[in-house]
Each structure stands twice: as C-alpha cells, then as structure tokens.
Amino acid sequence: MLTQLLSLLAFATQVLSIPTISAKGSKFFLDSGEQFFVKGIAYQLVEDDPLANPDQCKLDAALMQTLGTNSIRVYHVQANQSHDECMQTFSDAGIYTWIDLDTFDTYIVLDQPAWNQEKFDRYKEVMDAFHDYDNVAGFFVANELLNSGADSVGAPYVKAAARDMKAYRDAQGYREIPVGYSAADIAELRPNLQNYMACGDDKSETLDFFSLNAYEWCGEQTFETSGYSMLQENATDYPIPIFFSETGCNTIQPRTFGDQDAIFGPDMSGTWSGAIIYEWIEEENDYGIISYGPPTPSEDIGSVIVDGYTRTGTPTPISPEFENLSSQWAAATPNSVSMAAYNPTNTAPLQCPEYTDGLWMVSADAPLPTLGQQALAATSSPRTSSGAMTTSGGSSSSVYGTVGMGSDSAMAMAMTASSSSSGGSSETTGTGFSNSNSDSDALASSSGDSSEAQQASSADPNSSAAPSSAAAPTGEMPRQAVAGVIACMALVLAL
C-alpha cells in the first residue's frame, strides 16, 4: 500500500513538473504553447554556487513567489555539487534558471581571447550537470566580455563557444536549451555586436538568444528619455529572442522599476522577452531588494557574513523597492502570442556587420575560429599576469560580495589585466592563428588572476554598474595599451 502510494506520488511529481522553455523565431515559449516573458532576479548570494544550499533556496524561493519572479540568473555554479534539491525547490515555485556556463577560472578573457578544449570541457561539465532539469531556461556562454569597438575582435570566440555548446547539446541528445550571450550595453558596440551574434546563414553558428545588461534607465524616465527607444529600434527585426539579462540603475532612490512598464508594455513587448533585475541580495553595491540582516563589520571568510553582509537566513524585503518591483510585474500585460499562432516573419539571415575601423573589427565574412584556434599575437605574448594581481590590490578576501557585479566588472579588470600583459606584447607582430592548446595552463592561470582582480574591483559600486553608454570603466583604460595586439588580431580576422 505504502509503495503504491509512493509510486503514485512519484508519478504525480513527474506529471506536475514545470513546462520547458524553447526559442522559436524571436520569442520564448513554454512547451505548453504559451509565450514566456522573463521576470527575473540576479541571484548569487555566495561566490561559488548558490544552488547548492537547499535550505537557503527554500527560504528565497518562497519570497520570490510573493514578488512574482519566474526566473533567476546564477553567474557561478560548480558542476560537482548536487543541485537536485534547489532546482526542485525553484521548479515547485514556478521559477526558471538562467545559468552562466563560465566561471572564475573559465572566462574567455580579452587579453588572450581564446576558445579552447579546456574551457569547452569545463563548460560541458556545467551543461551536463544542469541539462536534465526542466526549469533550466537558458545558458550564457559569457557575460560582458566586450566593452568597446576595439574589443569586437573577441566576439568570434564568444560565438564559437556558443556554436560548440549548441553542437555538444545536440550531440548529447539534450533538450534544446537556448544558449546565448549577456552583453554590456555599450552604445558604440551594441548594435553591431547584437547583429553579429545572430547573423549568417548557418543556424548552427548563431546564438539562440541575445541579452543585454542595461543601466540606462535611472529614476523617472520614459521610453524616449531613457534611451530604451534606441534599444527598441535596433532590436525591432531581430531574428532571435532578446531580453534584459540585468537592469537596475540605482543612482536615484528608491528604485521604482519604471523600465518594467516599458519592457512589458506596447512599445517593447512585441520584441523583448522581459528582464532580469539586478539583484536579490542587498550588499555593498546597494542594488538589493532583500536583506538577510543589517550590515555588520565582520569579515570572516567561511562564515555567513562576507564583505559585511550576511548571506544566509530568512530574506526580508527592502522597502519600497521590493513592493515597487512586485507591483510593476503584477501590472505587466505584455503583447503575447501562442506558439501555434506565431509564424516568425523575420526569418531571412541577418547580414553580418561590415568591418569598421575602431568600431567593428571583424570582417563580415571572417569564419569563426575553430576550437583551440587563437591569434598568434596572444599566444606569444609574455604572461605578465602580475599586472592583474597588482590591480587586484590583495583584496581577494572580499570574494562573495561582488559576485554578480563581479561578473560585470570582471571584464573591466580582465581588461585592465590585459592592458598590462598585452602592453608587453604589442611589439609582437604575429599574424595568423596557431592551433595550440599547449598554453592552456597559462591561459587558465591568467584568467584566474583576472577573476580575482574583478572581485576586488567590484568593491567600487560605481565601476560595476556603470551605465552603458558612459561605460568608461571598462572601455577606456585598455584601449591604447592593447592597441598593438588588437591590430594584429584584427588583421587576422579581416583575412
């Protein structure tokens, strides 16, 4: 009797599992046929893996339901942890997960842009660990890697990573979980980068979605004054889903999340698939909508208090931000269409952007790099990762506090690192790709350094959330120092 009951229960759980999400044309759909709009929260309480703490997931998922969240974004996970309980908890709460496949020691970094076997293997581990959960909505191959026109030389590596992760997913027979990129909102770069990620005839090389981290809507703005009308213009005929993978200007407080009204309203909801709000936990950078307790001076690594903020326990809404966001989402009535009724019209392949010096330095017909293929200039550069260490200033103890933004400013610091390391290599005038994975150790350690640097950097809240178009913190510094290497790589890519 008991066994019967148990198997019945097991059956019921199966049946009640959450519908999966897939991309069709420029929209996301549940397999039940309904269009899906992201109402998400950036969720990274602890550095390594917030999806490995079942008790905490339960406490947070319950409050997220009150908020009206249907998604979380997690920037760093560890493939070797058990995620069953947290994933089930979020699934039971109707919450999907958007998972970054890269982490501190696997980021694609700009000083040696590379997509190689070692990174591929680590990304695969994360996909292997998560693909089976029905509430995985999508995977990111990178976050805010490219922050200026000159950085565009790194874009082919990101697109190659997406190509290979999609191919791996399909070869393994995994569900078609969308694979995409999370971009910084850099005015000079955005339209070209956005088009590049979706361009070309070969669907196996295009991303499944594109997403944007935008901090340009501050305080009482409108669709026009905020700059969102520009974002809309550039996305109108975009052939794959596009959404905001972070939003959350906090320079005017309290936050009222007025941009949600635009995103889910008539101006944008026919094009955009929603937004992820930066971020759940209140910490040093002051973006949180909940708190686990007042700031405290304790800096005890390994305890639940890091960077002065408690990171476990019962979440308490921060007022009025929590309520404001909740009411924005409750009022959202996006234009939607059912999967059956939706016939994508913008199906012609998007033209790849033309090479434009200083703005888009990848020629329209340059093939994507193969796995392990990288610019000689990068492989022959001296590895002065000490540059990165200097910038990190030894504050690697502030590890958890910066996680989400760490990822953002990650790239600021990766770039700073790149300016020091490639500074030395700017005389190297190698051209052409070399097929060498032999320096993958050096690569790994160099990106590891950058990731420490990034954590340190996000101690400065301003640098991490710099609004897009004015995004000096990432773009400016490295530009000159990297120029030599950039020029070499641009040459290569233009071939």
**Active-site residue set:** 144, 246
Q: How many residues bind ligand NAG (CB under 6 A)?
A: 15
Report the C-alpha gap between 104 and 219 in whole angstroms. 33
| Beta carbon nearer to ligand NAG, 9 or 252 | 252
- State the burial class of residue 297 (Cβ atoms within 10 Å of its Cβ: 0-12, 13-18, 19+): exposed
Tell me if residue 337 falls in helix, strand or coil.
coil
CB of 246 to ligand NAG, least distance (A): 18
Which H or E run contains 448? Answer: helix 440-457
- Footprint on residues 374-413 left by ligand NAG (CB under 6 A): none
CA 229 – CA 133 distance, rounded (Å): 36
Choose, by CB under 6 A, the member of 13, 438, 462, 480 that binds ligand NAG: 462
Look up tokens 């997913």; give the residue: 169
Contact range with ligand NAG by CB under 6 A, out of 12-20, 61-69, 321-329, 422-430:
321-329
Torsion of CA 264, 270, 272, 275, to 10 degrees: 20
Can you say how many angstroms the Cα of residue 130 is from the centroid of all Cα atoms in its chain? 16
Return phi, psi of residue 407, to 5°: -65, -40
Q: Does 230 bind ligand NAG (CB under 6 A)?
A: yes
CB of 79 to ligand NAG, least distance (A): 6
Q: Which is nearer to ligand NAG, 78 or 395 (CB)?
A: 78
User: What minimum distance in Å lies between the beta carbon of 380 and ligand NAG?
Assistant: 29
Give min distance, CB of 417 to ligand NAG, in A: 21
Does position 320 interact with ligand NAG (CB under 6 A)? The reply is yes
Interaction of residue 191 with ligand NAG, rule CB under 6 A: yes
Note whether 213 binds ligand NAG by CB under 6 A: no
**Considering the rule CB under 6 A, would residue 225 count as an interface residue with ligand NAG?**
no
User: Stretches 5-13, 209-217, 324-332, 340-348: which one binds ligand NAG (CB under 6 A)?
Assistant: 324-332
Closest distance between ligand NAG and the C-beta of residue 336, in Å? Answer: 22
Considering only residues 17, 232, 234, 395, which one is a binding residue for ligand NAG as defined by CB under 6 A?
Answer: 234
CB of 93 to ligand NAG, least distance (A): 23
Nearest to 181 by CA among 157, 209, 156: 209
Q: Is 407 exposed, middle or buried (0-12, 13-18, 19+ CB in 10 A)?
A: buried
**Does the protein bind ligand NAG through residue 233 (CB under 6 A)?**
yes
Do residues 478 and 416 lie in contact, with contact meaning Cβ atoms separated by under 8 Å? yes
Q: Would you count residue 84 as binding ligand NAG (CB under 6 A)? A: no
Select the residue interacting with ligand NAG from 17, 222, 316, 324 (CB under 6 A): 324
| Nearer residue to ligand NAG within complex by CB, 195 or 384 | 195
Q: What CA–CA distance (Å, rounded) separates 299 from 306? A: 5
Asked if residue 460 binds ligand NAG (CB under 6 A), the reply is yes
DSSP string over 130-191:
HTT-TTEEEEEEEES---SSGGGGGHHHHHHHHHHHHHHHHHTT-----EEEEEE--TTTHH
Compare residues 234 and 429 and give the one whose CB is closer to ligand NAG. Answer: 234
- Which of 65, 232, 316, 327 touches ligand NAG (CB under 6 A)? 327
Measured distance CA(453)–CA(398) in Å, rounded: 11
Cis peptide before 254, with omega less than 30 degrees from 0?
Answer: yes
Only segment of 28-36, 157-165, 319-327, 447-455 that touches ligand NAG (CB under 6 A): 319-327
Nearer to ligand NAG, 102 or 381 (CB): 102
What's the CA gap between 392 and 46, in Å, rounded?
19
Q: Which stretch binds ligand NAG (CB under 6 A): 57-65, 170-178, 229-237, 336-344?
A: 229-237
Instruction: Tell which positions 239-278 bind ligand NAG, by CB under 6 A.
Output: 254, 256
DSSP 79: T
Q: Quick one: 328 or 398, whose CB is closer to ligand NAG? A: 328
Strands 21-24 and 27-30: antiparallel
Which H or E element spans position 479?
Answer: helix 472-494
Does 19 participate in binding ligand NAG (rule CB under 6 A)?
Answer: no
Cβ closest to ligand NAG, residue 103 vs residue 419: 103
The tokens describing 313, both together, are 């326990």
Nearer to ligand NAG, 338 or 445 (CB): 445
Q: Which two tokens stand for residue 301?
A: 């690594």
Whether 277 and 40 have beta carbons less than 8 Å apart is answered as: yes
Report the alpha-carbon distance of residue 214 to residue 469 in Å, rounded. 9
- The Cβ of residue 253 has, within 10 Å, a number of other Cβ atoms equal to 11
Closer residue to ligand NAG in complex, CB, 223/433: 223
Nearest approach, Cβ of residue 257 and ligand NAG (Å): 7
Q: Collapse the DSSP code of 494 into the 3-class scheme (helix H, G, I; strand E, B; otherwise coil) and give the result.
A: helix
Chain positions contacting ligand NAG, by CB under 6 A: 78, 80, 191, 195, 230, 233-234, 254, 256, 320, 324, 327-328, 460, 462
